Amino acid sequence: MTPEQNLELLLKILRGELPPPHLDEDGWMELIRTAGRQTVIGLMYKAAERFPEGTRLPERALYTLLAELRRTVNRNQKLAQAEKEVLGLLRAGGLEALVMKGSSCAARYPSPELRTGGDIDLYLPETGFQKALELIRAAGIACTQKPDSSVTFLLKGCEVELHRRYFDLHVRESVLPPVGTPEAELLMLSAHILKHACGVGVGLRQLFDFAFAYKVYQGDYQQIHALFGRCGLSRWHALLLSFVKDYIDPSLEVPGHVDSRPLFRIVSDGGNFGHFRDGRLDTVQNKRAFRRKMDTLGRIISNFHFSLRYAPRETVSFLTDLFRENLHQK
């Protein structure tokens, strides 16, 4: 099967539709690899739990799935401990950081511990950001400044990133919802997907993060649609919602449904942050920063038409930021 066919099959299973009876061991192994590349191993495991009696994965595929699941759970335990420690450190200094993505998204999953974790993203407003850095450095932890003004450091083998900006958007603050509200989180998650879709690529985990948050939103959905309109993201919002309806949750009501295949192709092309596109993994692991930067910039250029079509007001400043960040990233 092609990568797109494999992704379609995986999504069908994640939606709870019956697995095809003709899938052999190699087919299941490829499906598990796809789930790993899309960082949805935990969701695939939960889907397999719901298979009807008499439907079993081949032994090798089952062992592989369980091994990947164990790695996911172990990684999440390390992330949870590191997050608890850094939040405690900041709280002891009188600061309350807001968790972005990560554990806040995992809480909406069928089993939170099965959401594949990456790093720990924390938001602190400018008034507390510098004090947070002082607290981190006073604890003997080395920090690295990033071109986008965020700061990263390692704690218990986990990467932690402190952000002084909550939204990856270039709009007037007056149109943005207050940070900490459900509306703000939906906008933040959507903008995060957009940023990576226009850049190196994006995987299913980010789409499921948004889908779960959107599903449990209890406010006025018309308010959300209007918010995206004020931010100049009406086309992007329609595309994202259409993708969720077509591939994740068919019960979702989507005003102005559009063809979601352009986003599906980006998700299928390289998986999690585009790492699994042909040649990309070697580039990511390559120690030569220039090669990594050029690969990223090449992807940005190739996705320019997509960016211009779905986020016309964001495109120029958005891509300018991506160029600058990658040209100066060490």
- What the block records as the tokens of 35 is 């789930």
SS3 (DSSP) at 327: helix
Measured CA to CA, the distance from residue 288 to residue 117 in angstroms comes to 26
CA dihedral sign, ordered 214, 219, 225, 228 = negative
pLDDT digits (tens, 9 = 90+) for 18-57: 776 678 899 999 999 999 999 999 999 999 988 887 778 8
Residue 149: band (very low, low, confident or very high) from pLDDT cuts 50, 70, 90 = confident
Reported pTM:
0.89
Strand ranges in the chain using DSSP code E only, listed in sequence order:
98-100, 120-123, 144-145, 151-155, 158-163
Residue 278 has pLDDT above 80, yes or no: no
Q: How many CA atoms lie within 13 A of 12 on its CB side?
A: 11
Measured CA to CA, the distance from residue 67 to residue 184 in angstroms comes to 36
SS3 (DSSP) at 160: strand
Residues 175-204 have a mean pLDDT of: 93
Q: How many CA atoms lie within 13 A of 192 on its CB side?
A: 22
pLDDT digits (tens, 9 = 90+) for 196-240: 898 888 999 999 999 999 999 999 999 999 999 999 999 999 999
Residue 322 has pLDDT above 90, yes or no: no
* pLDDT cut 90: percent of the chain above it: 65
Measured CA to CA, the distance from residue 291 to residue 284 in angstroms comes to 9
Residue 301: band (very low, low, confident or very high) from pLDDT cuts 50, 70, 90 = low
pLDDT digits (tens, 9 = 90+) for 78-135: 999 999 999 999 999 999 999 999 999 999 999 999 999 989 999 999 888 999 999 9
Alpha-carbon Rg for the chain, nearest whole angstrom, is: 20
Q: Which amino acid is at 170?
A: H
Strand ranges in 18-119 using DSSP code E only, listed in sequence order:
98-100
Side-by-side strand order, sheet with 120-123: 98-100, 120-123, 158-163, 151-155, 144-145
Give the pLDDT score at 296.
Answer: 60
- The two most distant CA atoms of the chain are separated, in Å, by 59
* Backbone φ and ψ of 186, nearest 5°: -60, -45
